[in-house]
A and B are shown apart, each in its own frame.
Chain A
Amino acid sequence: MNGRALNLLGLGLVAVIGIAFLVLIPRLFELDVVLELTVYMIMAILALSLALIWGYGGILCFGQSAFFGLGAYTYAIAVFNIGESTIPLLLAIVLPAAFAALLGYFMFYGRISDVYLGVITLTVTLILFNSVNSTAGPEFRIGSARLGGFNGIPGIPPLNFPGNKASPIDLEGMFYLATISLLATYFGLRLLLASRFGRIIVGIRENERRAELLGYDPRAYKLATFTIGGALAGFAGCLFANWGNFVSPTIFGLAQSAQIIIWVIVGGRGTLIGPIVGCIGIQWLTTALGANQPSGGPDWWAKIFANAPLILGIILIAFVLLVPKGLVPTLGDLGQWLLSSRGKRAKTRLEPKRAEEG
């Protein structure tokens, strides 16, 4: 089978699974499960935003949570002031994108090297965390929205159908919205990566100097990629604020920003499906471990398994050391190896990785 056929097969598979998931879950499960899965879908969009800029654009952003949090806060503040949710939704995409563009402009056009890029983005999200965290007093308000500091903003009005304030989207509706958004984001990014733009950003990731010597301006391409990633993260943030009707500064925190990177590392850089799998898998595991509280007995195993951060830490270290490419690329290699050893054609192992793969 050639690369193109495999590619189409993969796309078809994702579409079928996605639609089955969308249709079946609300019919088969209780609302609490649907609610849990909704937040997985939202976080998976966030994971895709980093999959694009890090996995394909080669930009290690340690502060993707900055755009996520900005999206959530922008939606919350705007919807309290405006009431109808269409403009707040758009603002929650545009504002983080504009912020990413501004930050990216100084980083890329200032020729900041990769390591410092990580440091700067991490610092930015921590600055946002500290700033928003210290706005607890009643004097911190934007219009009719109180920022609430470390208490966060509770009771955020949900999204409504565009233009009709009287018909808010209910919990099941949120599941549909989040899942459809995730599918749209996935296929949208696949299209983007198969386009001229997508192939060029992968080229720049592979060899920035060569891309430059061919006449491409890497700064402009990186800035555009970074901005798209910021917009996506902002959109995910808006959905997240809707999901819990609540947002607090921890959304900007170190734990949140590190988690996004872990999803991408575990799932696999340079693919789109990998970070989705990594994100959903790790969140599911975190929830499962959290639910498994020790009953008070001297059972050491139960205590260890109830310690979610410890288990997640072990998983991360295991992945970095043993499966450095991540889950999906490694499974892909394994599948190709099995195929080639069965067909006794060792050379198929050398099949190229296409830019639009994954």
Chain B
Amino acid sequence: MTEPLLQTRDLSMHFGGVRAVRHVDFSLAEGELRCLIGPNGAGKSTFFKMLTGQLQPTHGHILFRGQEISYAHAHEIARLGIGIKTQVPSVFDGLSVRENIWLAANRIHSRAQTKRVVDEMLERVGLTEAAERLVGQLAHGQRQWVELGLVLATDPQLILLDEPAAGMTHEEVHKTAELVREINRTKALIVVEHDMQFIRMIAKQVTVFNQGSVLVEDTVESIMRNPQVRDIYLGKQAAA
């Protein structure tokens, strides 16, 4: 078996007495698309923050292509090729959409290339019209797209998406699902999402978090049928 793209070993994060993430062993293959689900407070966002260096794990290891990144700085991890779209869009609100994408593309491209990449990315996320507007003045759904554009413009090998469909209209959710599948043709992704419709659209393999640990890991169909998962998370709505 080839080496996994991302691997965590016995990864734990404690905040005082609260154990937000407990002994997580997680593995993601090159080019894989994985969905993470779990109720609020299951530790999904904390898990993402550790993967991107925003939090230092209490103990355990994170390996990216075999390289230890558990205690690396956020910018070092970003440079290795992990990009994240955070739950609340983290963008440059006071700057134009174009400047936002430029800041991302500029990190890996030369001056001349950057301009071309920015135009392409604006087209790809459908924001060419809004390119000169301030990101802070856009609707929530559009700001999500700006952030997605930012992340893609740094051309990461692994992309983490924290609730990419939140606050989007039905149509936008479809568009996002399409984009996620398109991204997955060349890159690995981990997607945290609550919207089961959305997960059905994109997922093959699903990991369920509960109370800081991995409860179960299986195909999307089996997860949907799993009574344990239903109890903790999906509730009667999905069962019906």
Chain A contacts to B: CB under 8 angstroms: 3, 196, 199-200, 202-203, 206-207, 209-218, 350-355
Contact = CB atoms under 8 A, between A and B. Distances in A.
Nearest to A209: B90
Given A200-B106, A214-B83, A355-B95, 9 more contacts: A3-B132, A199-B102, A203-B99, A203-B103, A206-B93, A207-B93, A210-B92, A213-B74, A353-B134
B150 A214 contact: yes
A354 B133 CA distance: 10
Contacts of A210: 90-92, 150
B96 interface: yes
The interface residues of chain A, by DSSP majority, are classed as helix
B91 A215 contact: no
B54 A214 contact: no
23 contacts: A202-B95, A203-B99, A203-B103, A206-B92, A206-B94, A207-B93, A210-B91, A212-B78, A213-B52, A213-B74, A213-B83, A213-B84, A213-B86, A213-B90, A214-B104, A215-B78, A218-B75, A350-B137, A351-B132, A352-B96, A352-B99, A353-B95, A355-B99
A33 to B, nearest CB: 40
B98 to A, nearest CB: 8
A211 B107 CA distance: 10
Q: Which of A200, A215, A350 has the most chain B CB within a 10 Å cutoff? A: A215
A354 B96 CA distance: 7
Contacts of A207: 90-93
A26 to B, nearest CB: 41
Nearest to A195: B111
Nearest to A352: B96
A329 B94 CA distance: 14
Contacts of A214: 75, 78, 83, 103-104, 107, 150, 154
Contacts of A212: 73-75, 78
Contact of A213 (B78, B95, B102, B134): B78
Interface of B: 52, 54, 73-75, 78-79, 83-84, 86, 90-96, 99, 102-104, 106-108, 111, 132-134, 137, 150, 154
A350 B134 contact: yes
Contacts of A351: 132
A203 B92 contact: yes
Q: Which of B86, B90, B103, B107 has the most chain A CB within a 10 Å cutoff? A: B103
A352 B150 CA distance: 18
Given A206-B93, A352-B96, A355-B95, A211 B134 contact: no
Contact of A215 (B54, B75, B99, B133): B75
A353 B94 CA distance: 7
Contact of B133 (A199, A200, A216, A352): A352
A136 B107 CA distance: 53
Contacts of B54: 209, 213
A7 B54 CA distance: 38
A95 to B, nearest CB: 31
A-B pairs, 6 with minimum CB distance: A352-B96, A215-B78, A206-B92, A212-B74, A215-B79, A203-B103
B154 A215 contact: yes
A279 B99 CA distance: 30
Contacts of B78: 212-215
A199 B99 CA distance: 8
Contacts of B52: 213
B137 to A, nearest CB: 6
Contacts of B134: 350, 352-353
Contacts of A211: 103
A350 B99 contact: no
B198 to A, nearest CB: 23
A217 B73 contact: yes
B96 to A, nearest CB: 4
B13 to A, nearest CB: 18
Contacts of A218: 75
Contacts of A354: 96, 99
